[in-house]
Every structure is written in structure tokens, then in C-alpha cells.
Structure 1
Amino acid sequence: MGGVRKTTLVKKVYDSQTVKKYFDRHAWITVSQSITAAKLLRAAPKDFLEETKEPIPEGIDTMDERQLINKLRAYLQQKRYVVVFDDVWSINVWEVVKLALPDSCCGSRFIFTTRIGDIAASIEATGHVHHLQPLPEKEAWSLFCMKAFQGENKGVCPKELEGISYSILKKCGGLPLAIVIIGSFLSKKNKLLLEWKKVHDSLSIEVKNNSSLEMLERILLLSYIDLPYHLKCSFLYLSVFPEDYLIKRMKIIRLWVVERFMEEKPGLIAEEVAEDYLNELVSRSMIQVVQKDNFNRVRTCCVHDIMREIIQLKSRDESFAMILLNDRRMSTDEKIR
């Protein structure tokens, strides 16, 4: 299931000082639906070597799968390593990659996250599978209030909004991503029962198959529809980045400025307006902060893969941009910006 914060949990463990000290080598590999085993086998040694400032082996980009497996196995032999493969989609890819991970009885560990049950089941006999469950009601309510009642409310729900808030929260099905998005969305609304009831009613149309994922997508779509016009173009522009791409703050700011998405604001230059746009999208939880700089500004950010699907859908529907894969060609009646 998407949106249960698998990556968030694993990243917290991976970044802990206990893990950093226990293992000699560390690597975090983000996997996408289209990635091949060869690309993963190239990414892993680069990540290990970058951490220790070691040189990348010559010719690694032209090696075949067997050569890459042998190279990685030789490097990891007799080392205590931890490697994370985040968001694995293919059993076949995993079956190849695991051949490169030697078991030298040094206490090494590999971790992967996946929403595909068959992939998790394939390692159940030799490893531990942790099935993340939706948040229990108390924790879900705490997270919702923290997001929806920021600022002067200090995370406390006003009495007059408790009933409608619980009804909205129930629709999230305990999914942290849905709770964070709808909570951030409501934080921008006036704390009026009538206004919150409109949000509740817009989510109350019958969902096919009572799917939690479909409700999550509806919440994400609602958060997009509610964006001010000047933010929609900036947000849709994120559809051009590949899946799981780490977007640098200054890169996206400059791209937005070049595209002239910025409204004029007295006393501010275009780059400052663009940074305000970025911070607004972050505050709405529509963009996820990956890293901050020493001044507490966004250094890198990314878009959740489910949110990215919504962006690409709206981008195509509104003829803003279209992603062409492989040799696909546009038909004559298709429009793009």
C-alpha cells in the first residue's frame, strides 16, 4: 500500500547514529518502476564509494550484469555493510541484484521497501518482513491535529470542529500521507464548520471498491484543485522530473523563473517569489523536503510517487506537458504547452 510511510520509517533507522556506527559501509538506492538490474548494480557501488570518497572503478558504466555482480561482491567481501533498496517493484530485478550481496557472516544487512506483496513474500523464509499497518486512531488524530491546527491553535482542535474533523480523518483510513495532506490542506482554511463541511462532502462521494488508495488519490487531487492559480503552473511543472528525482532548490527556482511562472510582488525579485512558491507547496505537504541547509532552507526536495501520478494526470489533462517514453509518438489531436 502506498502512503503508509515505509520510506520514512526506514530512513529514520538508516540515519540513526547506532546504524552509522555499527556498519562499515552504507548505501541508499532509490528504485523506480522502470529501473533495470544493471542500473541498480551500477548505483550501489557508486553510493558505497562516494560515502568513503573512494574513486569509482573505470569502465563501470559499460560493464554487463555479471561483471557488475562480481565487482560489487568483491568490494563487499569481509565488510559489514547495510544497503537499502527503496520502493522495489520487480521480483526479477531483485533476484539479480541479491546475487551481488555476499553473506560473509559479518552481520551485514540489506533492507528493501515495496508495496508488492509477492516481492516481500519471496524473502520471508530467509528474512523478516515487517508489514506496516495504518495508524491507530489516537496516533492518526494526533498527526491530523498537528497539521490542521498549526500556529495559534498549537495542534489543538476547537470543540466546534471535533465532530467534522473526526469524520474527515476517518476517510483517510489511517494512511499517514493522506492525513498529512488533508491536514495541511485544512490548515489553509478558515476554522469555520460550514467551510470544513464542504471539504468533508467533497470527499463523501462513494468510492469504488472502498479503496483506501482511491481515497488517497482523491485527497491529493483535492489539494491540487485548491491551489491558487499562480501555484498550479509551478506545481504541474514538477511532472517533467523523473520518478524519485531529488530536486535542488536553486534548480527548480531558476526553472520556474525562466518559465515566467512568477507573479510580480512589490519589493521582491523573481527568485524570491519563486522561493515563496516553493515554501508554500512544502507547507501544504505537496512537496517533501529531503534535506535542509544551514539556514533552514530547502536544499533538496522530491515528490511522492503517488502525488507525481496526480501531477502527470493533471498536466496531460490541462495540456501543460506530456512525458513521452521510449519511441511513443504524439497523435495529431494531442496538445502540450
Structure 2
Amino acid sequence: MAEAIVLAVSKIGTTLTEDATKAVIAKLSEKVTNLKELPRNVTRIQKELNMMNNVIQDFSTSDIRKYVIKGWIAEVRKLAYHVENIMDRYLYHAHQMQEEGKVMKFINGAKYIKIFNEVADDIVQIEKDIKQVKDLKEWSLTVEQLSENKDSNTKRQRSAGCLPELTKYEDLVGIEDNRRKLTKWLYTSEPHSTVITMSGMGGLGKTTLVRNVYEREKGNFPANAWIVVSQNYNIQDLLRNLLREITNRKQPPLANMDIYEVQDEINKKIKDTKCLIILDDVWDYEGYIKICNALQNLQESRIVITTRKEDVASLASSKCRLELQPLGDTDSFNLFCRRAFNNKEDYKCPSELMEVSTSIVRRCQGLPLAIASMGSLMSLRKETVHAWNQIYSQLKDEMLKKDNVRAILNLSYHDMPGDLRNCFLFCSMFPEDHSMSRESLVRLWVAEGFVGKKDGNNPEDVAEGNLMKLIHRNMLVIDEIDELGRVSTCKMHDIMRDLALSVAKEEMFGSASDNGTMMNMDT
């Protein structure tokens, strides 16, 4: 939430300790009146920003959703960005002045007097802006009044070093009949290639079901591939990925091959070969047709498509179409208990929580993504009726403004602490369906200042812990596991990413576009 403030404070601290800063003040303070006050002014700014950062971190789950609070946080973030820009400008010209002084034995006095006079004036103005932003918050309560109820905020401790239960396929519920049906279709006696479609709204678990079957059965097909298509696809990139998959990634670099050469190579590799090809998240009919142009020699092969679109689902014959439906009451409750009570034997719901648990599950309307998210959220709460009823009350309030899935995900987002929210929002800056490396995410989070040392752990360990927390909360999904059983890559569900993008823009965190265009933010 407040990473911009952290970075701005860090930049101020760096500026004050720079030799270049001291040299500029010594040389120009007589001519630039405000410059001699720079150290004192920036120290005051540093303290003010630190205090604002602390206030933001103390906001509770319910308060952070109030429009007036969100507006104030956005103003603080903009202010911090402005401070950082001023510090960057100051340091750049300070170093430049030093270098010119060394090389040319003189300083272009008039030029730098003008520059540093403007910088010094900006610093003075920033102090006024800070006072104005502080005044905007006079309506707020004290930090003690804003803090969460201690009972509802009591967390159940959980190890961040192991994979959460939600990653185990045997823990999936309500999919057995559909899994058997899909598996049966893969082995029909149809001599020609067969298209199978799995359709339904977002959050029903289409990809989870197909991935489960694919991992079980792909060894029975000489060639297999899993290709994510998504809304904004590039057909040449998709075909290159397809070629890499069916050749077990042993294919030499394809950068110099045009689309027709890639198509020819695919046809050579799969000629008269039994293939299993998954086209995940197909949004339009045309995308499938373009890919099929490269699949001319398939025999007894199976192409499985997951989609939200009815016209894409109609690519399969009626006997090979599966439209997922929401889970029934029993399966919904079982899935919720597996997430909420995964530390209990048989995932049994305590009798005193049965009523509120049933109410929460009913609000999820049978959508696995929503159920799993709420279950993961409740698993972090103390098991008291009061604490759970508080969360359920917040959930009902959210649902007055948004659709059910968005309301549940919004509640899950605002329940996270500030550093975890920053890490989550940062993931939305990657393209849709992008596979994110664990190692890269950890380094990027540390570099961005989202995590620091905590409880004796170094920033990298804290960042890895944050990754596991996001996975446990269902905010990120495990994509691949390495040979040591650790998360290798992960992804963000597209519904979750839509939420993150809207929040990131609203809170002035950042903005991303999948169509290759720049998006303007009102900063």
C-alpha cells in the first residue's frame, strides 16, 4: 500500500548522506537562500512521510475500503512520488555539477543557481503540500480507534515454508464425475482428431479440472502440449510455444522462423502422431481456427479447449461438450471446510461455527474460486463465533455493491497486511496468464522495497514467505513445482488479476495494459 512512501524516505536518506549534497550546499547556500535549510527541511519531510506510512499500515480491513480513506492514501502516494522525483533531480544535478567542476575547473554558476533554487523552492512547497494532505485527514479517527478488533484479528499461525493444502489434487471436490467423463472422451475409438470443450463462467474451475486430467494422462500420448491462449494472443507466439511443447523444449531457437516455417515444423513433428493438446482460456473462434491450420496431420489426437464463450464451446460435437455448473451444497461446504479447517482431522467444522459457515458458503453460490478464497481467508481467523460473524457481516456489505465473486475477492484483498497487498498488486503488472518465476518475484519485491528484514529474516526469506502466503490465500496459483518440492512458477487467475488491476489504478500503485498501449494515470 505504501511502498512509494518507503522508497521516497529511502531516497531522502540517501540524498542527505551524499557527498554531492554537502558540496552543493557548501558552494551555493549563500546564493540560494532556501538551500542552506535543505537538510532540516528534508529531515522534516522524512519524519512526516514515515508517520503517514505508519498510519496507512494501521488502517483496518473495513476502514481501508472507505472511499475517503482510499482517496487520502492516493494523495499520500502521489506526494511520495513527487518527493522521490525531486530527490532524483537534485542528486542528478549535484553530481553533474561536481563532475563539471573537476573537469573544467569552474562551475557554470548561473545555470546551477537557477536549477537548485527551483529544487529548494520545490522542497519548501512539498512541506506545504504535506500539511494540506494532513489537514485532509482531520475527519479521521485516531489510530487506536482505526485498529481492528483484537478478537477478529487474531490469526492462526501457519508455516510459510511448505506448500498449502490447496495444491493437492486429491483435495479437489465435486469434480470426479466430470473427470471420468473427460478421461473417457480422450480414449474413444474415434479414428480422427477430436475436439473436446470445457465451458463455463470464470471461477468454476475449468482449468483446474483439465489440468488434473492432463497431468494424469499426458504420458499416454507420444506428443502433448498445454497452450494458454487468453484474450490478447499472438498467433505466432502461440505456435512457437506449441512447437516447443511437443518437442519437449528441445527445439533450437525459433526467433528467425516466420509463422509459415513454424507451421511446417509443427506438421513434421506431429505427422501421424497421437497428440494431446490443451488450448486453455480460448476467447474467440478465430483463435482456434488459426491454430488448427498448423495441425493438419493429426490422427487419433485430442484437442481440449477451455472457454467462457458459447460459440467457442460449439466447436465440439454435442457428445464432447462439457459445461461446468456450480458446485452443489454438499461439495461447496466440503471445499470450504478443506480450506478453512485444514489443520483439523477430516476438516471438520466446529459445531458452533456451523451456522455462520453455512451462510458464508451459501453466499459463494457454488463457485470454487470464491469458496476457496473465503475458506482460505477464514482459516486465518480465530475460531470464535464473534470473529467469524464480523467477517460475514463485512462480506454482506461488500455484496451490496459488487457481484458475489468480486465482493469475495475484494474482501480477501483488503484482509491482507500492507506489504502483502503491495506484492499482490505488483503481480498484476505482468501480462495476463504470465508464468511468474519464484526467484524473479522475490528479487523484484525486494528491489521495489516491498519487503525488508523481519524477525531476524533477510528480505529474500520474507519475500518467499509472502509468496507462500499469497498462494495459501488463493491470490496466486501454483504453476510448476521444482525437483525439491518448492514453487518454481506461479500465475494469477484472470479474475484475480482484473481485481488487482482496478485496485492498482484506484490506489495510484500502477497501471498495465495487455494491448501494448500505454495507460495514463492522473498523477
The normalised TM-score by structure 1 is 0.88
Q: How many residue pairs are counted as aligned between the two chains?
A: 322
Distance 2:431 2:407 in 1: 23
One-letter identity of the residue aligned with 1:6:
K
| 1:12 aligned partner | 212
1:91 aligned residue: 285
Contact 1:69–1:97, Cα closer than 8 Å, also in 2: no
Question: Larger helix proportion, structure 1 or 2?
Answer: 2
Shift of residue 312 of structure 1? 0.7
Q: C-alpha distance in 1, partners of 2:316/2:375?
A: 36
Change (3 A) 1:43 1:19: closer
Cα shift at 1:234: 1.3
CA contact (8 A) 2:512 2:519 kept: no
- 1:234 is matched with 423
The alignment-based identity, stated in percent, is 34
Alignment partner, residue 308 of structure 1: 497
SS, match of residue 122 in structure 1: coil
CA contact (8 A) 1:49 1:56 kept: no
- Which residue of the partner structure matches residue 373 of structure 2? 181
Deviation string for 1:117-166 (max 9, x for gaps)?
111013336x6111111112211111111101122465111111101111
Cα deviations by residue, 1:245-298 (Å, 9 ceiling, x for unpaired): 111111101111111111432321111111111111122121111222343322
AA aligned opposite 2:305: F
What residue is the counterpart of 1:73 in the other structure? 267
Bigger shift: 232-241 or 31-40? 31-40
Any unmatched runs of 5+ in structure 1?
none
2:519 and 2:490 mapped to 1: Cα distance? Answer: 31
How far apart are the structure 1 equivalents of 2:448 and 2:304? 40
Q: How far has the Cα of 1:49 moved from its partner?
A: 1.8
| Residue in 2 that maps onto 1:117 | 310
Q: Return the letter of the residue paired with 1:118.
A: D
Tell me by how many angstroms 1:329 deviates. Answer: 5.2
Distance 2:398 2:458 in 1: 46
Q: Please, what is the CA RMSD of the aligned residues?
A: 2.2
The answer to whether the 8 A contact 1:23-1:81 is kept is yes
The one of the two structures with greater contact order (alpha-carbon pairs below 8 A, sep at least 6) is 2
Deviations 1:64-85 (A, max 9, x none): 4x55444423332211111111
1:145 to 337, 340, 345: 337
Task: Give 1:92 deviation, angstroms.
Answer: 1.2
CA distance in 2, matches of 1:222, 1:318: 16
CA distance in 2, matches of 1:239, 1:253: 15
CA distance in 1, matches of 2:441, 2:275: 34
Please state how far the C-alpha of 1:205 moved relative to its aligned partner: 4.3
Conservation of the 8 A alpha-carbon contact between 1:264 and 1:270: yes
TM-score under structure 2 length normalisation: 0.58
Partners of 1:48 and 1:19 in 2: CA distance: 11
Corresponding residue number in structure 2 for 1:27: 225
* Contact 2:395 2:408 (C-alpha < 8 Å) held by counterparts: yes
